[in-house]
Structure 1
């Protein structure tokens, strides 16, 4: 195997890597593949459209030389004129990091935006992301579905759950629920099921060579064969939870047909109520990509076409192209993206629908009880089960009276949320969470019913955005909630002059009369409005004997740069 250091070592390895053999077996030009797939990706990102600072942020990106990704329809995405992670050290690098850390942009590889662009989820829908962490696709969907649609972002691994929660808070998203299940065994929600499913499944990453150079050394053809069953099982669970008429997108960052077309073929065999449907090309207008394959050949471990496919490691006939004509007709409706097509990474995406005529009961297949008639004939009756016992991590629904106290103390105008409490924090979410999940009974597989007033059997860790925190009976809005609450804050907020804000950013603790004049100042947490030429700002502060700021390091630093107090590093 080649040396891993330097461009020469990478190029030499690409010449002999099994990954190049895979590309050639798919009909790609060897030289064009190596030339592009060994180069670093350009920096790409999504602009946070619901942030109050969207206009100012766009100006900063354009000043960096950003150009729009024209095929990213329905949201603003940009490509920057430098490689991923290689922003110039003239202030651009720090500013870009601050824009991401404060939720004004989200750095994301362009190709990984495709599943949500293709699925195109809508407000008022309930979407399940089966393998959500670190959250780029879940947050992308949530932004497009706001304010009324909800994303149930599922992740089995505890450490990655924390990444999900962090990204939800960074982007001030109130329409994300976070659950923790194995993707093959995600719990039910009440009937009729989910409106949309994202199955961006674990894969070998064979299309990620531009950001993960180790793939040139680590990838082998048997890798996809070892992932196949997991991918089928996760996608199958999504199909079982999808209501009739609902859409599911299946995707990987792999170009191996065993992880892509072969999985889709097996999924249709296992879940015949699902159909592969045509992707609306207008949703990615201008993108260059290719039809899915209906023919491919197994490779040996050297990346060469095997003259005895049944002898390759972990062989299974399901890894071969299908024989069924309906599957051969369906697979070209899926789409493949190669690195040299649009200067991106590689990707695979398929769009499927639960046929309504396949399930006249009008509910997800997981609810179809094959033994229901036999039970009825025996005199069996469905039981309402007891709700699981609560613990300190349990999320509880809050009362209207509790919400009214927060609305008054935090100077909010009329809000249209469902309210959820855990400990000293209060979260807000769309009403859809209450109406379609919390307030409905959920049948189990035996036909008994989990009661309303609980999320069970979903293992819910977080509901919505923890927007408020209580101390000594006083509620304050947390900094991460300000972009969400911006348009709902009272006009009665105290106005702070730019000079006073600059003094606070310079670590001064101001006498209250500097800001409040002769008015009696409030005590404790407060929100202040600053009318700055670059845009109106909402500032978190604290008023005791002196007034100080309550901003995290990134927000404070970005404000200091914006107001000209400090230069970028």
Structure 2
């Protein structure tokens, strides 16, 4: 592979001649394909019992696995459409894994598309608190929204704004923030050769300025005592250690924290900073010749300490007092979950279930706010695809559960009408939750033992 001379010289300086040769040799090795289990829907143990392909654990990620991408296609399997896993490069699993998110936290993913990190952060919340997933690109944010809905994340806001604008609405609001920053992508050269050309067009100096802006903006949105994880998929000190040095120079209340280690992790380099910052060795460098994954950098930081009694819970646009339409109320009786009526938000025909304790957000560009429950059409309620993915089988009274090898599963995912007379009685009718091996795929409407397909057209199985 032809690498830019300036990059080669930098890597020789960073690694030394002998180790640089080992780095070059890894370009001849096959890429590593990864799969991360969605623990919001299924435990790792249960997934391994039904996994259709051989899997090998990613040793530093508890729910991460390698698979042979030259043989298997997990994206063309019904379990993928059930949101049981996300396909992700193994090193890229690390940032969301190492940010210590707890149920109930208020979490921000600043540069979230296409959703590899955001889906894991949302799963960690276990339906409590709120995930704000932002991406400045509206088109990329649409893919982000789909992945979050596929994962069954309901307590979310999907936003498409510059991080600087978010500062107005979320001052010291978040408990945890993840910044997987736009970068020069040096760690991806082995996996995606087109990244080399992009590097030649926009190198580390270009991205460093952007990263400094994003990380300081994010710092103002983190509450005292909160934690921020910064990551890149590049090797350049300017984008890594020196970005952290810049943050500390602007916000000395931050301190670098230890992360759970792994034998292949390299320590960050204090000597690469201008001030030889103490504690920079707690940050992590991932090199592809040291472990089975691409290049990455991570730094975990804490913003000072919160004094006793200092933290104030935010309250804002709680909805309430709106009468629930009869058709929606009738549908809700079919659900075996508790929903707080004060959190319903009716906007024209659409019904949303909002996260708690949001600030006022008028003027923010949303793709989605909360869980879209469905639509009221001519006084008739139609449940959404997002609601189907949010539910577990036991949360809904009327289900059709197909085995994964039943050809009706793929027919359903293609949008076809199904004959289900072997599963229902002639008298049964109405909305049914369609499942594969107990895991929801979407809704259908039953009449005369025939299921009219309501699977979302934009999500359908492509032959």
Deviations 1:144-192 (A, max 9, x none): 1121031101111211121111112222210221122212332344675
CA distance in 1, matches of 2:95, 2:287: 15
Give the TM-score of the pair, scaled to structure 1: 0.70
**Which consecutive unaligned segments of at least 5 residues does structure 2 have?**
none
Distance 1:36 1:404 in 2: 63
**SS of alignment partner, residue 72 of structure 1:** coil
- 1:417-438 CA distances to partner (integer Å, 9 max, x unpaired)? 5323334232334xxx33x215
Residue number in structure 2 paired with 1:471: 377
Q: Give the corresponding residue for 1:527.
A: 432
Q: Take 2:200 and 2:407, find their aligned partners in 1: how far apart are those partners?
A: 57
For 1:202 and 1:538, the matched residues in 2 are separated by 33
Return the alpha-carbon distance in structure 2 between the equivalents of residues 503 and 80 of structure 1: 27
**What are structure 1's unaligned runs of at least 5 residues?**
1-9, 297-320, 368-386, 388-394, 439-453, 559-568
Shift of 1:526: 1.1
Q: Which piece of structure 1 moves more, 158-167 or 179-188?
A: 179-188
SS in 1 for 2:167: coil
Q: Computing the radius of gyration over CA atoms, which structure comes out larger, 1 or 2? A: 1
Residue pair 1:18, 1:221 contacting (<8 A) in 2 also: no
Q: Distance between the aligned counterparts of 2:109 and 2:408, measured in 1?
A: 45
Query: Which deviations, in whole Å up to 9, do the C-alpha atoms of 1:322-373 show, x marking residues without a partner?
Result: 23xxx52121121111011211001001111111279996579xx9xxxxxx
Q: Equivalent residue for 1:515?
A: 424
2:64 maps to which residue?
77
Partner of 1:375: none
Alignment of 1:91-240 (within 5 A): 92-93=72-73, 96=76, 98-189=78-169, 193-220=173-200, 223-240=203-220
| C-alpha separation in 2, matches of 1:539 and 1:158 | 26
Distance in 1 separating the partners of 2:136 and 2:206: 19
Does 1 or 2 have the higher relative contact order (CA < 8 Å, sep 6+)?
Answer: 1
> Is contact 1:17–1:217 with CA below 8 Å preserved after alignment?
no
TM-score, L = length of structure 2? 0.84
How far does residue 109 in structure 1 lie from its aligned partner after superposition? Answer: 1.0
Distance across 2 between alignment mates of 1:289 and 1:253? 14
Answer whether contact 2:170 2:221 (CA < 8 A) is retained: no
Aligned partner of residue 207 in structure 1, secondary structure: helix
Give yes or no for the alignment of 1:22 onto 2:10. Answer: yes
Matches within 5 A, 1:416-455: 416=339, 418-429=343-354, 433-434=355-356, 436-438=357-359, 454-455=360-361
Alignment match of 1:485 (pick from 380, 391, 397): 391
Equivalent residue number for residue 446 of structure 2: 543
Distance 1:44 1:399, change over 3 A: farther
Count of residue correspondences? 450
Look up the SS of the partner of 2:203 in the other structure: helix
- Say whether residues 1:344 and 2:290 are aligned partners: no
1:245 matched to 2:225: yes
How much does 1:488 deviate?
Answer: 5.3
